[in-house]
Amino acid sequence: MKRIQRIGIFTGGGDAPGLNAVVRGVVKAARHTHHWEVFGFYDAFRGLVSGTGRWLKWDDVCGILTQGGTILGTTNRDNPFDYVTDHRYPDKRRDASGDVVRNYRKLKLDAIVAVGGDGTLQCAHQMSKLGLRLVGVPKTIDNDVRGTELTFGFNTAMNTATEAVDKLHTTAFSHHRVMLLEVMGRTAGWLALGAGVAGGGDVILIPEIPYRVEAVCAKIRDRVRQGKHFSIVVVSEGAKPVGGQVVVRQRVTGSPEAVRLGGISAVLAQQIEQQTGIETRYTILGHLQRGGSPSPFDRYLATEFATAAVELVAQGKFNRMICLRAGRLNSVPLSVPGSRPRIIDPHCHAIQLARSTGISFGDEKQLPAGGGD
């Protein structure tokens, strides 16, 4: 194999805490261990299509370990195979994958590290079929990338959501209210499950387990009978009732995510208050979940993923994604993450753990006594 001399890196999809830690880890490992040059592309695939970016030096990545966001910029709107040059005209699309290949060759790159979620990694897999050599690093606060047990960014977002649950507890207790917290999670409920268990939620509603409003209200009434005049409900934005649909906040023509979810907590709050007579309020955490400095855990995991990606390149193992399996670093084919999202098995240990402590998922026909805080 031709000796590696130059590699590229880009960050794609929604931002997540730890992206800068990956950029830093790749640049430092590549330059310090292998003496490679690293080119950072701006704004994900848009930078690959236009060839815009810069050669990253040691000083460019010093001090960014603790910074949220990404110094390279990101976007989830620029699929090179269905590319919109000017977003004012979303119907004017073209296949710009040839531009990516030309810029790859023009920069004399030997490989690219693609950092992103399933959409970004799916595009990267398609690019590999055109002769580009890529290594993927999984990123998403939703923790739903197939092929890995964990993605960086999730731990920080779960900490943010759990802190929000903690704060809602004090208001719920003081005012004898039901408080709902809506978190991200279109198809996978990992954030709601993690924050709900860690924060002492009483009800957790996730996309994988359709709920019944009657069961949610039964849980709340059961707590009142026990003398607990407040309840906490943590709900994923993609949760839906049995036989029902998700709540759509907005539809955006021309966007890769044309259907924007959001507002399930407002709908539920009204239903709960009507059926129980208990004052009910809701909070939508929104993009606060994406922001802020990455947790120490995510800094460490992002650095592990980054250095492992560099080693895959050094070993000539291309078109694979770094992953965590059975607690160990490994890799899977780049075709795996884009196949479908990684969702929660309703019978998994985490769900059983939550149920055993009395947490309701809104699907119970008859609720046991006890549970929650």
Question: Is-catalytic flag, 142?
Answer: yes
Annotated active-site residue in 15, 118, 142, 202:
142
Residue with tokens 């026909």: 365
Rounded CA-CA distance 168/11 in Å is: 34
Alpha-carbon radius of gyration of the chain: 22
Backbone angles phi, psi at 26, to 5 degrees: -65, -45
C-alpha distances out from residue 254 to 47, 77, 85, Å: 20, 9, 13
Rounded CA-CA distance 360/371 in Å is: 9
Rounded CA-CA distance 323/36 in Å is: 23
Residue with tokens 């009910």: 280
Task: Identify the DSSP state of 18.
Answer: T
Alpha helices in the chain (DSSP H): 19-34, 45-50, 58-61, 97-106, 118-128, 154-175, 190-198, 213-225, 264-276, 296-314, 349-356
Residue with tokens 């950092």: 115
Which residues form the catalytic set?
142
